[in-house]
Amino acid sequence: MHKVIFDTDPGVDDAMALLFLHRHPEIDLVGITTVFGNASVDTTTRNALFLKREWGIAAPVAKGEGKTWDPMRNPVDWPVLIHGHDGLGNIDVPETIDLPVDGRPAHRFIIDTVRANPGEVTLIAVGRMSNLAYALKEDPEIAGLVKQVIIMGGAFDVPGNITPAAEANIHGDPEAADVVMTAPWKVVVVGLDVTMQTVMTRTRLARIVERGGKDAKLLSDISQFYIDFYGRHVEDGMVVHDSCACVYLVAPELFTTRSGAIRVVAGGIADGQTIQKPDSRHFPPGNWDDIPSQLACTGIEAEMVINLIEKTLVRQG
């Protein structure tokens, strides 16, 4: 069983990833931590509670601080054209959900859970990297106690999606992302290089609804607005960014990876760009020296990944 903390900004594709984690038989979801990104942290936390209630998820929800690493960045713009004003595709999520939030901030929840389960917890981070960076700042020793960190974010050999250089999750808090990428823990980055190839068509989602019951119906309702947006970029479907990171956990053989130190640009026109120095390449001394090699995904068996997502989403709980 894989113990997982899901650090997320729900978010439409986050919702699909959450249902995947909930339904997968080899995954034990031990916590959901929320971060700003697709909406404010108040909204993403409310959305996490809503999905927890609707899907009967046992894992506690801990709310992030809602702050970037560098206070000057001060996030205020949310991608309402992609995820809707409510962050879940404008389905009219109730304003408040009658479920408690964990008493600890997200980063403290991460520290406590990792310390209680040394060597066992995988962090899957699919929003800004802020919570993970705060956890490392408060308790650097957790780097040696986490099993692995799987990130949806970044763009290595392809353009970004928020600027030509940067992907949204990394661009939203680049300083935090650099802290996370350069820490002495095992990181796998599932970025746009592979997620942009992974499309759930409307037809396939309809098939999932037929077999997946009311949980799948809610997921489909949430997803329609996002599909309408992505329809401009991919044919009749949605890119399933965040689910790809979850699939990596249970089926890493469906990905090709490249090993090397990863740094994140902070400031300037390439703000938020992820750059890897492949282990096979040698350069004069510089900013990629003496930090751990991490894995960046460079290839994906997209059809097999989508098949696995479908198979998992239609499992009855």
Q: What's the closest the beta carbon of residue 15 comes to ligand BDR, in angstroms?
A: 9
Rounded distance, CA 211 to CA 217, Å? 10
Residue 242 within binding range of ligand BDR, rule CB under 6 A: yes
Which one of residues 7, 14, 173, 301 is an interface residue with ligand BDR (CB under 6 A)? 14
- In which element (H, E) is residue 230 found? helix 202-230
Would you state the structure tokens that stand for residue 44, as one six-digit string?
Answer: 């993403």
Which one of residues 169, 182, 243, 273 is an interface residue with ligand BDR (CB under 6 A)? 169
The dihedral over CA atoms of 155, 81, 198, 36, expressed in degrees to the nearest 10, equals 60
Give me the residue label for tokens 């995947």. 20
Tell which positions 70-129 bind ligand BDR, by CB under 6 A.
126
Rounded distance, CA 55 to CA 53, Å? 6
Residue 13 within binding range of ligand BDR, rule CB under 6 A: yes
Is the distance from CB of 148 to CB of 183 less than 8 angstroms?
no
Which one of residues 4, 7, 11, 52 is an interface residue with ligand BDR (CB under 6 A)? 11
The binder of 161, among Ca ion, ligand BDR, none, by C-beta within 5 to 8 A per type, is ligand BDR
Please identify, using beta-carbon distances, which residue of 167 and 215 lies nearer to Ca ion: 167
Which of 232, 236, 37, 215 is CA-nearest to residue 126? 37
Beta strands in the chain (DSSP E): 2-8, 27-34, 61-63, 121-125, 148-152, 187-190, 199-201, 237-239, 255-264, 274-278, 294-300
Give 101's DSSP letter.
P
Q: Looking at 92-100, 163-171, 176-184, 300-308, which segment touches ligand BDR (CB under 6 A)?
A: 163-171
Tell which positions 228-257 bind Ca ion, by CB under 5 A.
242
Which distant-in-sequence residues (6+ apart) come within 8 Å of 98 by Cβ? none
* Cα angle value 13/155/221 (rounded, 5°): 10
Please identify, using beta-carbon distances, which residue of 11 and 84 lies nearer to ligand BDR: 11
Residue 84 within binding range of Ca ion, rule CB under 5 A: no
What is the total residue count of the chain? 317
Tell which positions 35-54 bind ligand BDR, by CB under 6 A.
37-38
Give me the residue label for tokens 């970044």. 154
Residue 167 within binding range of ligand BDR, rule CB under 6 A: yes
Q: Residues touching ligand BDR: how many (CB under 6 A)?
A: 13
* 241 in active site: yes
Please identify, using beta-carbon distances, which residue of 18 and 111 lies nearer to ligand BDR: 18
**Active site residue: 9, 14, 173, 193, which one?**
9
Q: What's the closest the beta carbon of residue 128 comes to Ca ion, in angstroms?
A: 9
Tell which positions 125-164 bind Ca ion, by CB under 5 A.
126-127
249 backbone φψ class: left, alpha, beta (φ>0; ψ -120 to 50): alpha
Rounded distance, CA 281 to CA 279, Å? 6
Tell which positions 14-73 bind Ca ion, by CB under 5 A.
14
Q: Looking at 6-14, 69-77, 99-107, 227-235, which segment touches ligand BDR (CB under 6 A)?
A: 6-14
* 102 in active site: no
Site string for ligand BDR, 173-192 (x = CB under 6 A): --------------------
Would you state the structure tokens that stand for residue 239, as one six-digit string?
Answer: 């890119």
Residues of this chain that bind ligand BDR (CB under 6 A): 11, 13-14, 37-38, 126, 152, 161, 167-169, 241-242
Residues of this chain that bind Ca ion (CB under 5 A): 9, 11, 14, 126-127, 242
The residues annotated as belonging to the active site are 9, 241
